[in-house]
Amino acid sequence: MMKARERMLGRLRAAAPVSSPAGAIDTLDARIAAHYDGIRPDAAALVDSLENALSASRAEVWRATAREWPAQVAARLARHGVKRLLLDPARAEGAALAGALPAEVQVLPFSVPLEAWKSELFDTVDAGFTVARSGIAATGTLILAPDAGTPRTVSLVPPLHIALVYADSLHATLHDAARDECWRDGMPANLVLVSGPSKTSDIQQTLAFGAHGPRWMWVIIVTGDQP
Amino acid sequence: MTTQSMHFVAPDDFHQRARTALNDPKLRASFRGAMDFLQTKRSSQFPDASELEHLRDLGEAIRQHALANLPQLLVQLEDKLTAAGVQVHWAETGEEANEIILRIAQRRGAHKVIKGKSMASEEIELNHYLGERGVECIESDMGEYIVQMAGEKPSHIVMPAIHKTRQDIGTLFEQHIPDTPYSDDVDTLIQTGRRALRTAFAEADIGLSGVNFAAADTGTLWLVENEGNGRLSTTVPDVHIAIMGMEKVVAKLEHIVPLASLLTRSATGQPITTYFNLISGPRREGELDGPREMHLVLLDNGRTQAYADEQLRTTLQCIRCGACMNHCPVYGRIGGHAYGTTYPGPIGKIISPHLLGLEATADLATASSLCGACGEVCPVRIPIPALLVRLRTEANRNPQEQVAHPLKGQGAKFSRGDKLVWRFWSGAFSHPSVYKVFRWAATRFRALTPSEQLGWTRHRAPLKPAPRSLADLMRERDQPE
């Protein structure tokens, strides 16, 4: 094993014996920053942009205050026929939604490791609820940082993904998000950027939804007063 | 689902396959439609020409910086990932990469591998290798799934089943997926594929994926997709193996931002894909899903040959968007399979000689009118036409000639006869006295011109010099030459 490594690196080093001069990377970083430099949209424009871009990707998007959304989501879930909803009751938002749900929607916490209930998750869960860390206005993207309470599969396996994003967490661009959230200082094991429901154009360039991930995605942009 | 064994084609039958493809109207229509669609989608993403050119400059600079520092960046990436609990492997050849992956599978007692899209795994023919040794690979990208079911190889690096109609796929699903009636409705077909693959995700022992970009500073693998099969493959099975061409690392995570934008806009004309999946290690303490074991295989397989030569190194700037093939008048007419290589189209012509050697691939670089469309759309400004000319030169170079960075298969097309003809030609045209004799002889003995003129007369009337040269005609009119 080590031999292959040494031989590969040896060939590279023989061909490129000196690395870029110190400062080359700073120049490059400055060029990238300059490319994305410009006037940032105001808060209202960020929300508009996120909403438009996500709608264009066929997510269902609406705005609501922190007081309004739990009842709205609960009513929609009932209409959609959701029976089992995955959420993290330890989070304030999860608890708020759980409190608003009608009796026919069962709340399911992700409490045991995936391998202990894989087939149940794949076969019986109708929807997953997540709270986005932040959003990207330009492309209509939510940034999800899965954790112990809301693991990666919550936004991936059930056919319906419901995501909450706070209006004041929006970045203008991906460049801003990476810079302002200091991704360079350390990344979680998994960070996921989601821009709509799962889709494919692999058959004759015809767009179809729900290829492997969620077929439906609802996004609630929480504005105004916050918990 | 039954997996047929893959059938392999040799790239050296290129001319024959290209002719067959040109005479297949269904294939021609499939590709024409797809190319028009992808070209329109791409151009709609770049309404501002100056923004595009600026971003291409940036993409080129980022990739060139990464390549200039490649050995250090690979070591940094390895250190970062190792610290996060990822096992990093180095493979000089496809065979070595296959062996590494097989050993992991055997140690885990694995029988089923679910695959996200990975062209590197196609390049090393991993499915075939593992299949022969009792480990089944199931492709989960819809296009790859279809192509695998048909026992074929991808005909496009971004849209593998681009050559298939929905009727073809309807028939394929009806035959191969139990209890599936024929349908050519795309939504129905996709839902059928989804259903068939759901159990495969849940049952797989190992998930295998490619990598679009890797960041050395944070030790992050950046995966780009729309379907979610990549996320499932890298999240649900207990083991995740990522395989990556060694050139794909860049210095910083923030450098990937412009590259990812260039990739999705150039490839499918999307401002962003549904998922950017950023993986920086296996499941951590307290987390309830994600793989508990993670591997990264760094693949050379000829890449260091391209790296050794400064001009050919630009080949490795590629971010695999496929825009060059989408805009290539040759690819658009003969399709991807005619090339017989994992990577078809212009990028295939310039990368395959390093992976496979010039003996098998020397004809590919000649299948170009050098129109320059590929170079014009390349998001990282790879000078593809110049590289094609260079590869033609290397293929025709005397195999004995000593050069600084010899290519595998140098002189595969070398012929003393050809060299002699060209020497005579350039000699005649650079010496007026010789040229005048040649001109006189060619016009007077025109009847002796052969009627079979190699490739020229296959589709065209034979060439014959005019009875009198222009100089003769001028002289008859008392005009000086």
Contacts of A144 in chain B (CB under 8 A): none
**Interface ipTM:** 0.97
pLDDT of residue A18: 83
Give the residue-averaged pLDDT of A9-27: 92
Neighbours of B445 (CB within 10 A): 10
Contacts of A16 in chain B (CB under 8 A): 67-71, 307
Are residues B221 and B255 in contact, defined by beta-carbon separation less than 8 angstroms? no
Are residues A165 and A110 in contact, defined by beta-carbon separation less than 8 angstroms? no
Give the Cα separation of B447 and B470 in Å (integer): 18
pLDDT surpassing 80 at residue B6? no
* Residue ranges with strand state E in B181-340: 206-209, 213-215, 220-225, 239-245, 249-250, 275-279, 293-299
pLDDT surpassing 60 at residue A23? yes
Contacts of B189 in chain A (CB under 8 A): 203, 208
Question: What's the whole-number average pLDDT of chain B?
Answer: 94
pLDDT surpassing 50 at residue B345? yes
**According to the CATH classification, is domain A41-223 in 3.40.50.10420?**
yes
pLDDT surpassing 60 at residue B256? yes
- N- to C-terminal Cα distance for chain B? 76
Residue B433 lies in a domain: yes
Mark yes or no for CB contact A178/B201 under 8 Å: no
Instruction: List pLDDT tens digits, range A36-93.
Output: 999 999 999 999 999 999 999 999 999 999 999 999 999 999 999 999 999 999 999 9
Residue B78 lies in a domain: yes
Q: Are residues B283 and B430 in the same domain?
A: no
Contacts of B199 in chain A (CB under 8 A): 122
Neighbours of A204 (CB within 10 A): 21
Are residues B164 and B146 in contact, defined by beta-carbon separation less than 8 angstroms? yes
pLDDT of residue B454: 81
Is B61 an interface residue toward A (CB < 8 Å)? yes
Contacts of B104 in chain A (CB under 8 A): none
Is B366 an interface residue toward A (CB < 8 Å)? no
Give the residue-averaged pLDDT of A185-201: 97
pLDDT of residue B9: 54
Which two structure tokens, joined as six digits, stand for A225? 């007063």
Nearest-by-CA chain A residue for B65: A20
Nearest-by-CA chain B residue for A188: B280
Is A25 an interface residue toward B (CB < 8 Å)? yes
As a whole-number percent, the residues of chain A with pLDDT over 90 amount to 93
Q: Who among A4, A24, A29 is closest to B96 (CB)?
A: A4
pLDDT surpassing 60 at residue B258? yes
Nearest-10 Cα torsion for A91, A97, A101, A106: -40
Give the Cα separation of B475 and A49 in Å (integer): 75
User: Within A64-220, where are the H helices?
Assistant: 69-80, 92-100, 118-124, 174-180
Is A181 an interface residue toward B (CB < 8 Å)? no
Q: Who among B202, B254, B289 is closest to A184 (CB)?
A: B254
Give the Cα separation of B378 and B380 in Å (integer): 5
Q: Which of A182-186, B132-136, B453-457 has the lowest mean pLDDT?
A: B453-457
Domain final position from B271, B304, B337: B304
Q: Are residues B94 and B236 in the same domain?
A: yes
CATH of the domain at B213: 3.40.50.10420
pLDDT surpassing 70 at residue B3? no
pLDDT of residue B4: 37
pLDDT of residue B109: 97
DSSP annotation of A84: E
Number of domains in chain B: 2
Reported confidence tier of residue A19, pLDDT bands at 50, 70, 90: confident
Is A110 an interface residue toward B (CB < 8 Å)? yes
* Residue ranges with strand state E in B285-416: 293-299
Question: What's the whole-number average pLDDT of chain A?
Answer: 96
Q: Are residues B431 and B286 in the same domain?
A: no
The helix-helix angle for B70-83 and B49-68 (nearest 10°) equals: 80
Domain final position from B304, B334, B366: B304
pLDDT surpassing 60 at residue B2? no
Neighbours of A28 (CB within 10 A): 20
Instruction: List pLDDT tens digits, range B207-255.
Output: 999 999 999 999 999 999 999 999 999 999 999 999 999 999 999 999 9
Domain final position from B278, B304, B330: B304
Contacts of B65 in chain A (CB under 8 A): 20, 24-25, 28
pLDDT surpassing 60 at residue B402? yes
Distance of residue A155 Cα from the nearest chain B Cα, in angstroms:
10
pLDDT of residue A17: 78
The helix-helix angle for B253-267 and B25-45 (nearest 10°) equals: 130
Residue B386 lies in a domain: no
Which two structure tokens, joined as six digits, stand for A74? 């609960």
Q: Which of A8-12, A175-179, B367-371, B435-439 has the lowest mean pLDDT?
A: B435-439
Instruction: List pLDDT tens digits, range B137-165.
Output: 999 999 999 999 999 999 999 999 999 99
Distance of residue A135 Cα from the nearest chain B Cα, in angstroms:
13
Neighbours of A186 (CB within 10 A): 9
Instruction: List pLDDT tens digits, range B48-99.
Output: 999 999 999 999 999 999 999 999 999 999 999 999 999 999 999 999 999 9
Domain of B211 in residue numbering reads as: 11-16+46-304
The helix-helix angle for A2-15 and B70-83 (nearest 10°) equals: 150
Mark yes or no for CB contact A183/B268 under 8 Å: no
Instruction: List pLDDT tens digits, range A138-166.
Output: 999 999 999 999 999 999 999 999 999 99
The contacts of residue B298 (CB under 8 Å, 6+ apart) are A8, B74, B78, B88, B89, B90, B91, B244, B246
Mark yes or no for CB contact A203/B161 under 8 Å: yes
Mark yes or no for CB contact B202/A5 under 8 Å: no
pLDDT surpassing 70 at residue A227? no
Residue B243 lies in a domain: yes
Q: How far is CA A147 from CA A94, A192, B65, B252, B290, in A?
A: 14, 12, 35, 24, 11
